[in-house]
A and B are shown apart, each in its own frame.
Chain A
Amino acid sequence: MKFGVVVSEGPYTHQAADSAYLFVKAALEQGHEVPRVFFYHDGVNVSTRLTIPPQDERNIQKNWSALALDHGVDLVVCIAAAQRRGILDENEATRQGKDANNIAEGFRISGLGQLIEMGIQTDRLVTFGD
């Protein structure tokens, strides 16, 4: 089966980003496809590479980046939600005149159309949030 996944709550505060990660990992291990994960609302905060969780804790961003690199999962961060919350890639930082970017490897910033497209192209859409 082909799953689309939405993450709509922020990391560490809320379990959504962890549960979604475990779900995607399990789905892939069982031979399902997860072509894309869409990060919305505070979920976009998963994608900053500047988080430094304590060493004995899981690193949520690195978990996700590894999924993208190892399995080709397309991690899409909503641009409108990202801009409100200070998530930028190099392109956006330049365009907006900001002095830094913070997006982690494996994530890309794009529009809400990617969410709708994911809903159209997958068999099931699963949301992790409140």
Chain B
Amino acid sequence: MSEEKKFLYVNRRAPYGTIYALESLEVVLIGAAFEQDVSLAFLDDGVFQLTKGQDTNGIGVKNFSPTFRALGDYEVTKLFVEAESLAERGLTKDDLQEIMYEDEDDDWAEKPSIHIVSRAEMADIMADQDVVLSF
């Protein structure tokens, strides 16, 4: 399997309340072993998945949000967040976790994985993919 395809995982739902977000992340982590060109998109309520300070103690489910910060170790370094979805929910970039990766092509410089993009840019990103998995 030497062929490399562009995979986009689209996250549209809140992190808790349904299992979609968690099971999406499980696909991303397993998929990382296949050395494809991977991007993640966060839109609609999916932007809540990346918020910082999540505390799930009151609802009895695991807080999996720290896992996003480990994505860089899996060479998953492109997280696109839709600006309009943030704004519609009263969120800004400062409400999101800081997620960094080390760029091996740039002397392991620490760089941010999260990119805020407009709805129009998100459409272009989607159009550019080979495989889109929506959760």
Q: Which A positions have Cβ atoms within 8 angstroms of B?
A: 6, 8, 40-41, 80-81, 84, 111-113, 115-117, 119-121, 125, 127, 129
Contacts and interface: CB of A to CB of B under 8 A. Distances in A.
B74 interface: no
A121 B133 CA distance: 15
Contact of B34 (A6, A41, A84, A113): A113
Q: How large is the interface on B (under 10, 10 to 19, 20 to 34, 35 or more residues)?
A: 20 to 34
B133 A112 contact: no
A117 B36 CA distance: 10
Most buried by A among B26, B30, B132: B30
B133 A120 contact: no
Classify the secondary structure of A's interface with B: helix
Contact of B36 (A40, A84, A116, A125): A116
B55 interface: no
Given A41-B23, A113-B31, 17 more contacts: A6-B133, A40-B23, A40-B27, A84-B19, A111-B30, A112-B31, A115-B27, A115-B133, A116-B27, A116-B30, A116-B36, A117-B34, A119-B5, A119-B133, A120-B3, A120-B34, A127-B134
A119 B131 contact: yes
Contact of B33 (A40, A113, A129): A113
Contact of A80 (B26, B31, B36, B133): B26
A115 B32 CA distance: 12
Interface string B96-133: 00000000000000000000000000000000001111
Given A116-B36, A117-B1, A127 B30 contact: no
